[in-house]
Amino acid sequence: MTELTHPLATVPQDELVARAEADPLRPRFHFVSPAGWLNDPNGISQWNGTYHLFYQYNPEGAFHHRIQWGHATSTDLVTWTDQPVALEPSAGPDAEGCWSGVLVNDGGTPTLVYSGRFEGRELPCVAVGSPDLLSWTKDTGNPVIAAPPSGVEITAYRDHCVWREGTKWRQLVGSGIRHRGGTAFLYESVDLRQWDYIGPLFIGDASQGDPSDTDWTGTMWECVDLFRAGQGSLGAEPSDGSPDVLVFSAWDDGDTRHPLYWTGRYAGDSFEPAALHRLDYGGRFFYAPQSFKDESGRRVMFGWMQEGRSDTAMVEAGWSGVMSLPRVTTLADDGTLEFAPAPEVSKLRRDHVSVPGQVLVGAGTPVNTGVSGNQLDLELDLQLAPGAMLRLSLLGSADGVEETVIELSRAADGHHPGNLRLDRTRSSLDPAVDVEEKSGPLPMTDGRVRLRVLVDRSAVEIFANGKPLTARVYPTLGGERVTLAATQSTVRLLSFDAWTMAGVFDETRSLLPERK
């Protein structure tokens, strides 16, 4: 993540928290930092039954500067307790920031591998934790890798993926080779301190495609994440034939683009790609994802929902950045990944409303569902006729001036993939916010779509047949109406259930929590 400082002075801690908590656009059931700046999820894990979420944090203000590791814990993935800051800059290799990294279990010792920033560059560092993961000691030998590979002109070098393979540790560091493309450099170690450079795991080709394409692979890969999609461990032959997955966030000269993933096979010292896929149709609004396998065997992923409003608006609001809800990653029949909110999210549901099943005819007249609110969980089961389009309008104002619209469409021939689209052109009267269209192909069998939508004030997460689209919206009129309309052909609404979602933070939070 490129550092973007802001010229406005910081404000007193109490005022910063007050500003953040007063902002009507601040999500209430997604995790957000107490105030200030939040970006990448780090070190996400489950340790002795407790979930740990570390994150890039600046408690001084809502801008990227002097990054620390915020820390929160949970027993259920949805209700969080703020813990003391895990890492903060100190004299030496992380004096300018403790950037993104991971948590590993080193023979029972919790160990962080992270990027320390010093004199304008990032290098791998290590810290070990107490048994409860609430206090951390940096290794005296930091940085544990003194420099990027020699003889290679890189675009950037940071972020880590670390795993145990046999008797050794392996590590990927995200990078890019100038005039070629993004890459991940592979290293090996017996102790997490002395690392031998192996080589590039795989090198992308930035010359392929247009830089404006939603699947352009960028000039550098941030936040690389390598895992086995099915049974077995990395490096072992899969018993079920499932692919390995290499996730990365495409970056280009300070521009955070979008998350992508390759399916293929990791073996020996390289990754053989089979196919490239978009991880989330929202692009940069689900950035820098990191995943882990929890104690029940699920692969759980979080991503950073960055802002779509101006730097000045963020600073004035006193906060920036939202953590996505935890999503469970599974392998679809076609070899791609599918995503769904972790089932635990449902515990926040209140005030159930059921909308009667009905047939919507393509006249385009909106049907008032009786559902309203700006903290909602919606589940719809739909069947679209060939050529049909459904419009689900959220956060609509009473006068119809503002609305955020989800569109589902089925190909006229009934055979090609349909389309999922988020129309934000009328989501806000603020002319400075991002309203770029977000869309992607939607696989469907016989026109059937299972749709899940989670709305949390300015945060929207959409899951349609396992394909996610994540985005930010900034309504200015306080609208809460939810309507449905079929604009072409017919749509059969088989079921529609809606819930209001409870908030997860009830008390005023501290910017710098103390150990309890």
Q: pLDDT tens for residues 260-311?
A: 999 999 999 999 999 999 999 999 999 999 999 999 999 999 999 999 999 9
4-13, 164-173, 200-209, 418-427: segment of lowest average pLDDT: 4-13
Which phi-psi region, left, alpha or beta, contains residue 478 (left: φ > 0; alpha: ψ -120 to 50)? left
Q: Give ranges for CATH 2.115.10.20 in the chain.
A: 13-341
3-state secondary structure 198-257: EEEEEECCCCCCCCCCCCCCCCEEEEEEEEECCCCCCCCCCCCCCCEEEEEEEEECCEEE
HSE toward the beta carbon, residue 418, CA cutoff 13 A:
26
pLDDT digits (tens, 9 = 90+) for 299-356: 999 999 999 999 999 999 999 999 999 999 999 999 999 999 999 999 999 999 999 9
pLDDT digits (tens, 9 = 90+) for 205-214: 999 999 999 9
Q: Which CATH superfamily is domain 345-501 in?
A: Exo-inulinase; domain 1 (2.60.120.560)
- 3-class SS of residue 16: helix
* Beta carbons within 10 angstroms of residue 137's beta carbon: 10
Measure CA of the first residue to CA of the last residue in the chain; give whole Å: 31
Q: Give ranges for CATH 2.60.120.560 in the chain.
A: 345-501
Provide the whole-model pTM: 0.97
Chain length of the chain? 516
pLDDT digits (tens, 9 = 90+) for 122-154: 999 999 999 999 999 999 999 999 999 999 999
CATH label, 13-341, candidates 2.40.128.110, 2.115.10.20, 3.40.50.150, 2.60.40.10:
2.115.10.20
pLDDT at 230: 84
Q: How far apart are CA 371 and CA 393, in angstroms?
A: 11
pLDDT at 270: 97
Closest among 69, 42, 129, 6 to 512, alpha carbons compared = 69
Question: What are the residues facing 258 on neighbouring strands?
Answer: 250
Q: How far apart are CA 469 and CA 299, in angstroms?
A: 19
Cβ–Cβ < 8 Å for 461, 468: yes
Question: What are the residues facing 331 on neighbouring strands?
Answer: 337
